[in-house]
Structure 1
Amino acid sequence: MKTQSLKNQPLNKQAGFTLVELIIVIVILGILAVVAAPRFLNLQGDANASTLEGLQGSIRSGMNIVNGKSIIASNQKEETATVAVDTGDVATVYGYPAATQAAFEAFLDVKFAANNTADFNLVEITADNKVIIFPNSYVQTDDCRIEYTQATAAVTTTAPIKTVVTAPIVTLVTDGC
């Protein structure tokens, strides 16, 4: 009786993956999609918040430049004045930019509108001397905005009489961006 050696027999080579391997890969990809997808879906909110943070820095820098030019022109104690900057004339209140669209466009060199047609949406609140800025194409709510409160001043009644200026307040709210 002859015994056959297994060494010389060709092995049956398979090409491809088994069904179990494919199912495991699909399950792993599904878990990654569930975990990673929510992180990437909120990129617009992060972009809105970052845009507002950058604009807030620009407002503060521009506000200080305008105030410096007002001091040089000796009109920092005047209720209304005008200061020339590279991009135009800026209306000022006690040496700081007035809470108007024209003043903001001049000292920031940014376009504002109220209908998503410019860089940012701007809503003037003239009764409170405030400007509220929203990111463009964002539903305007109170949880994603910059609020600029115009400078104020008080005159002391005791000698020596002097004008005490309170600088503008720039508030950033990014809770709901």
Structure 2
Amino acid sequence: MKTQSLKSLPMNKQAGFTLVELIIVIVILGILAVTAAPRFLNLQGDANASTLEGLQGSIRSGMNIVNGKSIIASDHKKATATVTVDTGDAVNTVYGYPAATQAAFEAFLDVSFAADDSADFNIVEIAADKKVIIFPNSYVQTDLCRIEYTEASDANAGTPPVSVETPTIDTYLTGC
């Protein structure tokens, strides 16, 4: 019988990761999670921005419907008038477009802006600027996450003929 020395015996190699390699992988995954997670977790800001864009579209559509009803009623050149929308609500108009008031917006959008947090949006009237500001209830009116509607005006400042400047709708989304 032949004896073999220990050197000539085949060695079983074990395959696997060392503890150092596992720690390095965990550290790399941790760095990726820290840098990528905030981008994916900031969904509320993206949702507020998308909702404001949708609301802006609703305001434009409703504003054009009110203007169409004003033209039919021949009130589109008047400084103040009222039209009735499909819900039966009266909308105060300025040169054929909705006035910059909470009541007008609630009527032509068929929504309710509550003073508490029960509504999704808040609305603030700025009478001196003939403007309303609409913003999500988790923000304040000065945040850059809002819609500003400035009502229509007469470019000729009351001298005939009336030259209507359409309302402006400015949407700010950088602060959402």
| TM-score of the superposed pair, with normalisation by structure 2 | 0.84
User: Partner of 1:78 in structure 2?
Assistant: 78
Displacement of 1:127: 2.1
State the secondary structure of the residue aligned to 1:48.
helix
What amino acid is the match of 1:79? Answer: A
Deviation digits for residues 67-118 of structure 1, max 9, x if unmatched? 0111011111122222121232211111100111111111112221343221
Displacement of 1:139: 3.6
User: Partner of 1:20 in structure 2?
Assistant: 20
What amino acid is the match of 1:56? Answer: Q
- Structure in which a larger fraction of residues adopt strand: 1
User: Partner of 2:30 in structure 1?
Assistant: 30
Does the C-alpha gap of structure 1 residues 37 and 99 become closer, same or farther in structure 2, counting only changes over 3 Å? same
User: Partner of 2:136 in structure 1?
Assistant: 135
Deviation digits for residues 8-41 of structure 1, max 9, x if unmatched? x9x5767x75312321221121121122022124
What amino acid is the match of 1:108? Answer: L
User: Partner of 1:64 in structure 2?
Assistant: 64
Deviation digits for residues 129-177 of structure 1, max 9, x if unmatched? 11011112224424221111111123675xxx42111111111112222
What amino acid is the match of 2:74? Answer: S
What amino acid is the match of 1:25? Answer: V
Say whether 1:170 aligns with 2:169: yes
Runs of 5+ unmatched residues, structure 2? none
In the alignment, the residues of structure 1 paired with residue 40 and residue 132 of structure 2 have an alpha-carbon distance, to the nearest angstrom, of 32
In the alignment, the residues of structure 1 paired with residue 35 and residue 139 of structure 2 have an alpha-carbon distance, to the nearest angstrom, of 26
User: Partner of 2:150 in structure 1?
Assistant: 149
Say whether 1:46 aligns with 2:46: yes
State the secondary structure of the residue aligned to 2:128.
coil
State the secondary structure of the residue aligned to 2:76.
coil
In the alignment, the residues of structure 2 paired with residue 118 and residue 140 of structure 1 have an alpha-carbon distance, to the nearest angstrom, of 15
Runs of 5+ unmatched residues, structure 1? none
In the alignment, the residues of structure 1 paired with residue 70 and residue 52 of structure 2 have an alpha-carbon distance, to the nearest angstrom, of 26
Contact 1:79 1:93 in 2 (8 A): yes
Does the C-alpha gap of structure 1 residues 90 and 156 become closer, same or farther in structure 2, counting only changes over 3 Å? closer
What amino acid is the match of 1:94? Answer: Y
Instruction: Provide runs of 4+ in structure 1 moved above 4 Å.
Output: 4-7, 11-14
In the alignment, the residues of structure 2 paired with residue 94 and residue 55 of structure 1 have an alpha-carbon distance, to the nearest angstrom, of 22
In the alignment, the residues of structure 2 paired with residue 126 and residue 156 of structure 1 have an alpha-carbon distance, to the nearest angstrom, of 19
Alignment RMSD: 2.3
What is the identity percentage for the equivalent residue pairs of Structure 1 and Structure 2? 73
Contact 2:78 2:95 in 1 (8 A): yes
What amino acid is the match of 2:168? Answer: I
